Structure 1
Amino acid sequence: MRACWGLLLLSVSIATAENGSNGWLRYAPLPDNLRQHASSLALPSAIVTLNSTEASPIQTAGKELAAGIQGVLGRSLQVSHDIATASDLSSSILVGTVATYSSAGYGSLNASSFAADGFWLRVNGSSVTIISQNERGALYGAFEYLSRISQGDFSDVDLLSNPDAPIRWVNQWDNLEGTIERGYAGPSIFFSNGLIVQDLTRVSQYARLLASVRVNAIVVNNVNANPSLLNETNIEGLGRIADAMRPYGVQVGISLNFASPDLLGGLKTFDPLESSVITWWTDKTDELYKRIPDFAGYLVKANSEGQPGPLTYNRTLADAANLFARALQPHGGIVMFRAFVYDHHLDPANWKADRANAAVEFFKELDGQFLDNVVVQIKYGPIDFQVREPASPLFANIPNTNTAIELQITQEYLGHQDHLVYIPPLWKTILDFDLRVDSKPSLVRDIVAGRRFNKKLGGYAGVVNVGTSINWLGSHTAMSNLYAYGQLAWDPTQDSQELLQDWTRLTFGLDQSVVETVSKISMASWAAYENYTGNLGIQTLTDILYTHFGPNPANMDNNGWGQWTHADRTTIGMDRTVSNGTGFAGQYPAELAAMYESVETTPDELLLWFHHVSYTHRLRASGKTVIQHFYDAHYAGAETAQTFVSAWEALRGKVDAERFEHVLFRLKFQAGHAIVWRDAVCGFYHNLSGIPDEAGRVGHHPYRIEAESMALSGYSPVAVALAEMASNSTAVVVVVAVTAPTSSNGSSSSSGPAKGEAVAVLDSPDGVYDLAFGYFDVAGGRAHYGAFINDEPLLEWIGDLEDHLGHEFSTKLDGHSATRVTARGVPVQRGDVLKIIGLADGNEAAALDYVAVLPEGVVD
């Protein structure tokens, strides 16, 4: 029987059980054995919430507890808000604040032991007490209790949990017209056609997810802000968003366009020291707080990537931040001022030019000039959410300023949620890094929490791209990053793998094989992605000038954006030394500066970030040359990605059908695209350097039949502009239109779709093979493909990945559109005739690259 897996068949599933809309808050019934165990325990029989109003997080906590216990245990518990009924706590869940607990006569608690948002969870048999310093913290405690019982944990506990930092925000990059910058999960849930949407049901549901991982505020619009967000209609709409999120304790903030007084207010200036501008912002801020009394504050991107800012008027960035800070101070609001300020028109011929230097150059001299309610929001690395960067030295250079770390949950440079990449291990390399300020311990996590430099404000900002996709991020597995972000912002000392396992149990169930498999592939995913994209600190070798998705190492240089490799025929890497390069290494405290200055002491994983070396330079750890490490790492990373598919397939029947197939689809795509990455990067540096792969792999594909070498009818070879993006630099595209035969009345029918055929006689020994078809799925059409062996149907698929995946699609034959589809377990006899028929559609010319005839277990 021929294998028959293809895109046309993906909509078929055994049963539709879940769609991911509840994320990790499924409250799924416990397995029978655990439910039977729970039935033997003394468990709470009532829920009491103290002094809560309808929109209160404590009221929400009561509802959430009732729903969760009903779902997990099948028990219906009444929720009471009458303190008088709470006299017997021996079999109740009691939820309240320190103040309401004490005023109800249950005793006094030491309020000083609670930080803002902190909670106390005490489980003693059937008595559960959840007390917090504020109402939001009580909701967090309720979610903690529900997380435990959802995982089958009914043990007694006495837990006081306080947040590591007060700021635990997420930043949406939503645009008013409804699009989302770096969004891979559909349109905005907040905006459409320049206005706030009317139905905010999804917004409330999103707030629920955020509250469950203790995120306390959200910036709802893009940092590249539209000033019309501040018009009267939209301020009222923002008020409705705040109303929808308030029951979950999630405060609302917004990004500002610095030129709004001019663009919206008609002032003809936006000088931050001009009195009319100051008055305009003060009045606008007061207007916001009149509608949203608990408004969180502002996020500001100024003088970066073409955005307006104070430098237009020769004012400082501190002048700009303090303008907003003064307007917010009477209301208790915060200014998050992004340190992402740099010139994106750098001269690549200037050896000393370095985008990485920008943050320290702009902000170091301003240290101590920011008001107390200003927080400088710093990207974790000096460039832009790359697969690996050193910790930003700015954290060490502004000790008299509040700081927050900006992490990216959305996978802008990490596969756009179409590749599985579990990011927390990357974040932990930064959070746990010791910057050694003044030769003293200075972990990044201690700096942003305010401990190291004795600051009251600080914390975390996570860039997230939740959209209208039913599963929020377009990918079920990507939700692990959002879950772990909130948990790490609360306590950054937590273990990435333990967080992943909690998320898996809450998301996919308690089957240990599922937990182990998801843990195994997810924990391997960042290293694999780094290996098959860019390693040794060279950054992610993506297409910096286009969609940031597929490979294109050629355009990492000779552009103004400053994400350079300085690769030539003999050498590669940025020289960021003080002695000979851009001086970036000198921005670190003395101990680190000395380490990074020397090629002998720089860690291998950051070698090419700090040093320009020959391709034959040998690494300290392995003794391999740089170029051989590139070859080996890219092949190893792509091979690891293949294992994700088989590991997940082993879980069939243990995960509900809809989500199982959804994850499987993406893992199969990733397996194919990892090979695209591998071939493109290895081919580029092989062609550039002329240095062969010691293992003889690069440029040699013994299992492939190149499409241009097949017998072609209606297909014609075409040279791919970026040679390494196609196997053997060449693909074939359909060029002939097929005319339908003349009808019986003598008239000619209209032409059918352009059609091509590619035929090859298979020369492989008799056996069972996997047949992988390399092709290009470009935007602007839905080409049809059919593969046949001896005229028997083998595989049918459509070039419709844009209907299934979330990344921005290319209109060209390149590393973004290159992909593969595979038929597995195909019986083949020597002499079999393989035929591929392609039907073009619109802009999609049914482009083919190759067919790989792979013995089972062999990675192409």
Structure 2
Amino acid sequence: MNKTTKPNLLKKALLFFAVLLSGQTYADDGGRLWLKYDLIADQAVRENYAKSFDKIVLLEHSERIILAAEELQVALKGLLGKDVPIEDFSERPKEKHKNAILLMLDQDNTKLETDGYALFCKNGLAMISAQNDLGVLYGVFGLLRKIQTEQTLDCDEVENPKIRWRMLNHWDNANGTVERGYAGSSIWKWFELPERIDPRIVQYARANASIGINAVSINNVNASARFLTAEYLRKIKGVADVLRPYGIKVFISVNFKAPKTLGGLETSDPLDEGVKNWWQEKTEEIYSYIPDFGGYLVKANSEGEPGPQDYGRTHADGANMLAEAMKGHDGIVVWRAFVYNADPNGDRFEEANKQFKPLDGQFDDKVIVQVKNGPIDFMPREPFHPMFGQFPKTQLGIEFQITQEYLGHATHLIYLAPMFKECLDSDTYAKGKGSTVGRVVDGSLYQQKQTLMAGVANTGSDANWTGHPFGQANWYAFGRLAWDHTLSAEQIAQEWTGMTLTNKKNPEKEIVDIMMASLPTYINYTYPLGLHHMMGEGHHYGPQPWLAKSGRPDWTSVYYHRAGKDGIGFDRSGGMSKALKLYAPEVQKKWGNPATCDLNYLMWFHHLPWNYKLTTGRTLWDELMTRYYLGVEQVKDFENRWHNLKGQIDNAFYENVNSRLKIQEREAKWWRDACYLYFEQFSGLPLPKGLQPPKRTLEEVKALEKVYHLR
């Protein structure tokens, strides 16, 4: 084998760190994520794979292809208990190789796109080919996914990513804390960089590469200018050097006021020549540290963050100024569209459209406007953001939240792929039927080249990375959907379960069923019928539907649910707001009539009397309470079904989830009791027949929330 292009010893050692963690002789702390290369338990399956693979054959050479080959070698040793040598051949015809895995480049396959791969498996031969070496690495993980999930290796397929930039947004701060992080401190360990690189960063890179993630925004969007200093650029370079072999580019979230606060300029006006020069010089400095720097992520004029509007300029002015600084480089600018004003008579639902619609067509080709999946703020269920059907001349990326800010943090079992899919599969009707959000985001609807799917990361320093063990599934699902948003949520759940927990048919089905039911269950006991934004103030944990005063009117609960003697819900069909008119006529027709509106979105668009008769045959009040109580019973059912898995999956994993389900049941009752006791004051109606009222009072429930504000 050619020694000159082998990865250095550090990378090799860190790769083999994965092998040291393999095996089933001790409790699994979750640190290996879905990259578990444990011996396949089914002997017949294991032997069938083993007889097919006697060697790994390199038909091309690069550091990354050798890295891919070593990943394969490590994995096959763990999964099959077999040493599979890596051999160097110059012979291309696959017919000359038997019982081998071939790694090669292929510039002639017209079906292959950048970073895509072709996987051919038949009669003891597996061939992974791609246009570039990153595609080969992705193909290796694609083959391993099939082996880990014990699939029959008989395939001839091409896998191309549908999205150009598949990015994790880390909301990590310079002091090591993580905003909306529920799994410990920052994995970057800023105080140790660049002299010491934590080995977990390599594990993180491998995990991301295995699901096709190719970009990482390394710091909080509420950005400190400190990340642009030489001190921190050296640290970021250390991380970028580790991520690079796995095809991951680093982005930096920037504070728009940096020219003034960091550079000493009198202004940060994007049209000021001095400001333009400062950003150009800073950009060149960054590229001197990180030659493949991905670009900037910007939160501007939102929630107190500085931006171009401070100087009478537009979002396009600010974004284009930064894009101009990127000229001559491959980097881009990602400009967030999460903007809103504190207007007690307004509606945050409409704000992004108001500010950005006049700018459609004015953004530079290097700019992607990053839009949250819904119009408010990562609620457990939101209608798709109306911007996705309104901007034919602007490259729009989508932003999901993987971390469970409004979803029980790390105590509730919630599988988020169904939420991601619900949005991506929603039809905007922007160019007629079939104009889904997914087609807007992947660029196919408007033939746009720069495409992006971003997810706010849920990773932290906890041994299992995500706090709740099932939080790993949301990271995994995000990456798989960023690669191919047409995959089903159930297929992804099956993959993750097979790679992480078990391939035994009955327990796998039980786990997948729980996962698929988890999101609607959470919504039942928290935000049924389209209620939204009723969480605890500041910490966003637990219920606080009575919240009426905060730093801004649109940070309160009563602003959104509008509960009163006359009913409940936010009328966006023309009464309280005209937000529904931001959608295409076909969407307006679907959601505009309360008699035909999807019940999941009812309170998003309508304010209705408590005794309004729904399509279920129940009144609004009875349906609301039925769902709250049902949600609690569903969590109890999860607990009972989980008990059936004892002894069939890793015990440490089992006990961890079992304990958290008990917490989830207690807190589901908290939500149910709080919302019943609070809303009952307005409805004046009894619970539906068969449901028992709480034994505690509203004041007792309110006292539970108050403890979260104690210091």
TM bucket, shorter chain: over 0.9
Residue 425 of structure 1: aligned partner: 418
Counterparts of residues 259-658 of structure 1 (less than 5 Å): 259-343=257-341, 345-347=342-344, 350=345, 353-543=346-536, 545-555=537-547, 559-561=552-554, 564-578=560-574, 580-619=575-614, 621-658=615-652
Q: Is the 8 A contact 1:15 1:657 kept in 2?
A: no
Q: Deviation at 1:196? A: 6.0
Give the secondary-structure state (helix, strand or coil) at the position aligned to 1:169. Answer: strand
- What's the RMSD between the two structures over aligned residues? 2.2
Return the alpha-carbon distance in structure 1 between the equivalents of residues 694 and 492 of structure 2.
42
- 1:731-783, Cα deviation, whole Å (9 max, x unpaired): xxxxxxxxxxxxxxxxxxxxxxxxxxxxxxxxxxxxxxxxxxxxx6997xxxx
Q: Is the 8 A contact 2:544 2:705 kept in 1?
A: no
Give the secondary-structure state (helix, strand or coil) at the position aligned to 2:118. Answer: strand
Which AA in structure 2 matches 1:363? F
Return the alpha-carbon distance in structure 1 between the equivalents of residues 509 and 266 of structure 2.
61
- 1:64-110, Cα deviation, whole Å (9 max, x unpaired): 100110011011112235647999422321213225xxxxxxxxx23
Residue 749 of structure 1: aligned partner: none
- 1:138-181, Cα deviation, whole Å (9 max, x unpaired): 11100010111112224221111111121211111111100000
Cα distance change on mapping 1:36 and 1:592 into 2, 3 Å = closer
Is 1:95 equivalent to 2:103 in the alignment? yes
Q: Is the 8 A contact 1:255 1:299 kept in 2?
A: yes
Give the secondary-structure state (helix, strand or coil) at the position aligned to 1:462. Answer: strand
- 1:624-677, Cα deviation, whole Å (9 max, x unpaired): 111111110000011000111121111111112211111111111111111111
Q: Is the 8 A contact 1:571 1:615 kept in 2?
A: yes
Return the alpha-carbon distance in structure 1 between the equivalents of residues 292 and 275 of structure 2.
24
Q: Is the 8 A contact 2:170 2:217 kept in 1?
A: yes
Residue 38 of structure 2: aligned partner: 28
Q: Deviation at 1:421? A: 0.7
Q: Is the 8 A contact 1:50 1:96 kept in 2?
A: yes
Give the secondary-structure state (helix, strand or coil) at the position aligned to 1:471. Answer: coil
Q: Is the 8 A contact 2:443 2:449 kept in 1?
A: yes
Which AA in structure 1 matches 2:618? K
Residue 166 of structure 1: aligned partner: 164
Give the secondary-structure state (helix, strand or coil) at the position aligned to 2:120. Answer: strand
Unaligned runs of 5+ in 2: 1-23
Return the alpha-carbon distance in structure 2 between the equivalents of residues 482 and 440 of structure 1.
31
Return the alpha-carbon distance in structure 2 between the equivalents of residues 341 and 555 of structure 1.
22
Q: Is the 8 A contact 2:221 2:253 kept in 1?
A: yes
Give the secondary-structure state (helix, strand or coil) at the position aligned to 1:128. Answer: strand
Q: Is the 8 A contact 1:164 1:489 kept in 2?
A: yes
Q: Is the 8 A contact 1:425 1:526 kept in 2?
A: yes
| Bigger-Rg structure (1/2) | 1
Q: Deviation at 1:299? A: 0.8
Residue 79 of structure 1: aligned partner: 86
Is 1:137 equivalent to 2:135 in the alignment? yes
Q: Is the 8 A contact 1:177 1:195 kept in 2?
A: no
Higher normalized strand content (fraction of residues): 1
Give the secondary-structure state (helix, strand or coil) at the position aligned to 2:523. Answer: helix
Which AA in structure 2 matches 1:118? G
Q: Deviation at 1:27? A: 1.1
Residue 773 of structure 1: aligned partner: none
Return the alpha-carbon distance in structure 1 between the equivalents of residues 212 and 311 of structure 2.
40
Is 1:695 equivalent to 2:689 in the alignment? yes
Q: Is the 8 A contact 2:401 2:456 kept in 1?
A: yes
Return the alpha-carbon distance in structure 2 between the equivalents of residues 47 and 288 of structure 1.
39
* % same residue: 38
Is 1:17 equivalent to 2:27 in the alignment? yes
Give the secondary-structure state (helix, strand or coil) at the position aligned to 1:607. Answer: helix
Counterparts of residues 110-189 of structure 1 (less than 5 Å): 110=109, 112-189=110-187
Residue 61 of structure 2: aligned partner: 52
Give the secondary-structure state (helix, strand or coil) at the position aligned to 1:160. Answer: strand
Q: Is the 8 A contact 2:466 2:472 kept in 1?
A: yes
Q: Is the 8 A contact 1:115 1:162 kept in 2?
A: yes
Q: Of residues 57, 68, 74 in structure 1, which corresponds to 2:75?
A: 68
Residue 21 of structure 2: aligned partner: none
Return the alpha-carbon distance in structure 1 between the equivalents of residues 705 and 659 of structure 2.
15
Cα distance change on mapping 1:652 and 1:440 into 2, 3 Å = closer
Q: Deviation at 1:596? A: 3.1
Q: Is the 8 A contact 1:679 1:698 kept in 2?
A: no
Which AA in structure 2 matches 1:553? P
Q: Is the 8 A contact 2:259 2:267 kept in 1?
A: yes
Return the alpha-carbon distance in structure 2 between the equivalents of residues 153 and 633 of structure 1.
39
Return the alpha-carbon distance in structure 2 between the equivalents of residues 127 and 648 of structure 1.
40
Cα distance change on mapping 1:556 and 1:90 into 2, 3 Å = farther
Q: Deviation at 1:129? A: 1.1
Higher normalized helix content (fraction of residues): 2
- 1:585-615, Cα deviation, whole Å (9 max, x unpaired): 1111122234433333322221111111111
Q: Is the 8 A contact 1:245 1:251 kept in 2?
A: yes
Return the alpha-carbon distance in structure 2 between the equivalents of residues 557 and 573 of structure 1.
19
Return the alpha-carbon distance in structure 2 between the equivalents of residues 700 and 395 of structure 1.
43
Which AA in structure 1 matches 2:99? S
Counterparts of residues 780-859 of structure 1 (less than 5 Å): 810-811=708-709
Q: Deviation at 1:535? A: 1.3
Number of residue pairs matched?
A: 683
Give the secondary-structure state (helix, strand or coil) at the position aligned to 1:555. Answer: coil
Which AA in structure 2 matches 1:26? K
Return the alpha-carbon distance in structure 1 between the equivalents of residues 349 and 449 of structure 2.
28
Q: Mean Cα displacement is larger for which, 434-443 or 408-417?
A: 434-443
Q: Is the 8 A contact 1:190 1:197 kept in 2?
A: no
Which AA in structure 2 matches 1:441? G
Q: Mean Cα displacement is larger for which, 687-696 or 674-683?
A: 687-696
Is 1:199 equivalent to 2:194 in the alignment? no
Q: Deviation at 1:346? A: 2.4
Q: TM-score, normalised by structure 2?
A: 0.92
Give the secondary-structure state (helix, strand or coil) at the position aligned to 1:329. Answer: coil
Which AA in structure 2 matches 1:346? D
Which AA in structure 2 matches 1:602? C
- 1:763-816, Cα deviation, whole Å (9 max, x unpaired): xxxxxxxxxxxxx6997xxxxxxxxxxxxxxxxxxxxxxxxxxxxxx255xxxx
Residue 209 of structure 1: aligned partner: 207
Cα distance change on mapping 1:408 and 1:624 into 2, 3 Å = same
Q: Deviation at 1:689? A: 2.2
Cα distance change on mapping 1:358 and 1:446 into 2, 3 Å = same
Q: Deviation at 1:195? A: 6.3
Cα distance change on mapping 1:603 and 1:265 into 2, 3 Å = same
Unaligned runs of 5+ in 1: 1-13, 100-108, 707-719, 730-775, 780-809, 813-842, 844-860
